[in-house]
């Protein structure tokens, strides 16, 4: 585990403020042009969709990892440095999975494309906006779950296994490229998902680093 992960109140404030500013700028000036361009020039290219699949095995592996760790602890295992990294990876992923779903319900944002249950979208219907607490898969775009679920575990590894930071950053970048290329998410969704995943990772690593 890294020797210290204790963001100050000031750094937390500036991170939250920068997230809000970037998200609002993207909503106002970038989301619709990026989605329209992606649909016009990249629509249907399977390579971008395949990149988004990088995320798919991570949540089930994290759940299995936590189950296995729980059984091992009952059997007498006490995690050392590597064990704590594994726990942080799994806990950050599961926490990110729960939090992002609750935020999706809270914000109720429509998608760039129509792809599930005839959902309203920007490309098909010209729909663009938020309907808080609307519910339903058609209002589940913000924040990006894929971005959150790749960022949280990769930031844990970024903090705990710094010699491979290029790998962890590349995996995040590949998923983001896939999401934008496939027009699966707004740019602002991705920005919010990145900040959320980073916050979850830092919080989990700091929690596991803490001493009684």
Domain coordinates of the chain in residue numbers? Answer: 9-209
Residue 58 CA: distances (Å) to CA of 7, 55, 182:
26, 6, 20
Cβ atoms within 10 Å of 205's Cβ, excluding its own: 26
Mean pLDDT of the chain: 94
What is the model's pLDDT at position 155? 98
CA dihedral for 143, 149, 153, 158, sign (positive or negative): negative
Predicted confidence band at 8 (pLDDT cuts at 50, 70, 90)?
Answer: confident
Bridge partners, residue 109, by sequence: 130
pLDDT tier at 85 (50, 70, 90 boundaries)?
Answer: very high
Q: Is it the case that residue 4 has pLDDT exceeding 70?
A: no
pLDDT digits (tens, 9 = 90+) for 163-187: 999 999 999 999 999 999 999 999 9
| pLDDT confidence band for 44 (50 / 70 / 90) | confident
Burial annotation 72-111 (CB, 10 A radius, 16+ → b, else e): eeeeeeeeeeebebbbbbbbbbbbbbebbeebbeebbbbb
> How far is the C-alpha of 95 from the C-alpha of 203, rounded, in Å?
10
Neighbours of 132 (CB within 10 A): 10
pLDDT-wise least confident of 36-40, 44-48, 170-174: 44-48
Place of tokens 């494309």: 113
């Amino acid at each position: 585990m890294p020797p210290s992960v204790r963001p100050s109140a000031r750094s937390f404030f500036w991170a939250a403020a920068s997230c809000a500013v970037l998200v609002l700028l993207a909503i106002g000036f970038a989301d619709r042009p990026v989605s329209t361009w992606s649909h016009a020039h990249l629509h249907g290219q399977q390579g971008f969709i395949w990149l988004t699949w990088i995320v798919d095995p991570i949540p089930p592996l994290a759940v299995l990892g936590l189950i296995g760790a729980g059984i091992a602890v009952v059997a007498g295992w006490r995690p050392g440095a590597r064990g704590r990294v594994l726990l942080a990876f799994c806990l950050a992923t599961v926490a990110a999975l729960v939090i992002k779903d609750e935020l999706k319900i809270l914000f109720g944002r429509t998608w760039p494309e129509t792809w599930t249950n005839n959902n309203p979208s920007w490309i098909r219907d010209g729909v663009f906006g938020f309907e808080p607490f609307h519910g339903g898969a058609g209002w589940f775009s913000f924040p990006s779950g894929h971005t959150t679920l790749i960022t949280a575990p990769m930031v844990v590894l970024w903090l705990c296994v710094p010699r491979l930071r290029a790998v962890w950053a590349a995996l995040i970048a590949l998923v983001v490229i896939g999401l934008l290329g496939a027009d699966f998410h707004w740019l602002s969704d991705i920005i919010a998902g990145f900040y959320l995943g980073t916050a979850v990772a830092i919080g989990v690593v700091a929690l596991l680093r803490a001493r009684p």
